[in-house]
Amino acid sequence: MSESITIEDMLRKMSAGGLRVTEQRKSLAQMFVLADGYLTPKDVYEWMRTKYPGVSFDTVYRNLRILSEMGVLEQFYFLEGGLKFKANCQHHHHHHLICTQCEKTFSIHFCPMEHLEGGPEGFEVNGHRFEIYGTCKECREKPAVEDI
């Protein structure tokens, strides 16, 4: 599991950032805490609709974007290009194992930059990206049911 953030943490951050804590945003926070992994705007929309049949896609987008800009959520483009969001874990620097089946993420405290060798000459590093893709224990045990 990632170092989990609580719903209260998220709401507190929103409020601290000058946002209003609406019902929808509470649901949104709840959803991301429960999911503990990456969600697409569509996922979020579908889920929100079960609680608030009237939600609109643009509100979902707006909130995802705003919350990302505030650092409550984290935006991420997958290898194939799909945009996804997850609750931001801003503890110390770390990387993730990403289960490509359920898209949950698992923190890993190994950072390749500490082991780098055969590196750049004259190249000024100012960022990196390291992710491991695979299948998590849980998904390996119960083979994909919802695979459609």
Partner DNA sequence: ATACTTGCAAACGCTTTGCAGTTAT
Partner DNA sequence: ATAACTGCAAAGCGTTTGCAAGTAT
C-alpha–C-alpha distance, residues 93 and 63, integer Å = 26
Does the protein bind its own copies through residue 125 (CB under 8 A)? yes
Residue entry with tokens 């500490």: 114
Which of 64/87 has CB closer to DNA? 64
Contact call for residue 70 and its own copies (CB under 8 A): no
Residues 12-41 that bind its own copies (CB under 8 A): none
Q: Which residue has the tokens 């929100």?
A: 48
Q: Please, are residues 105 and 40 in contact by the beta-carbon 8 Å criterion? A: no
Choose the binding region for its own copies from 18-26, 43-51, 52-60, 128-136 (rule: CB under 8 A).
Answer: 128-136
Is 23 within 8 Å of 8 (Cβ atoms)?
no
When CB distances are held under 5 to 8 angstroms depending on the partner's kind, the choice from DNA, its own copies, none that residue 121 binds is its own copies
Question: Could you tell me the smallest distance in angstroms from the CB atom of residue 42 to DNA?
Answer: 7
Q: Which residues contact 113 (CB under 8 A, 6 or more apart)?
A: 125, 128
Q: Rounded to whole angstroms, how far apart are CA atoms 10 and 88?
A: 9
Restricting to residues 86-115, which ones interact with its own copies according to CB under 8 A? 97, 99-100, 106, 108-110, 112-113, 115
Q: Between 57 and 110, name the residue whose CB sits nearer to DNA.
A: 57
Residue 86 is classified by DSSP as E
Residue 135 interacting partner from DNA, its own copies, none (CB closer than 5 to 8 Å by kind): its own copies
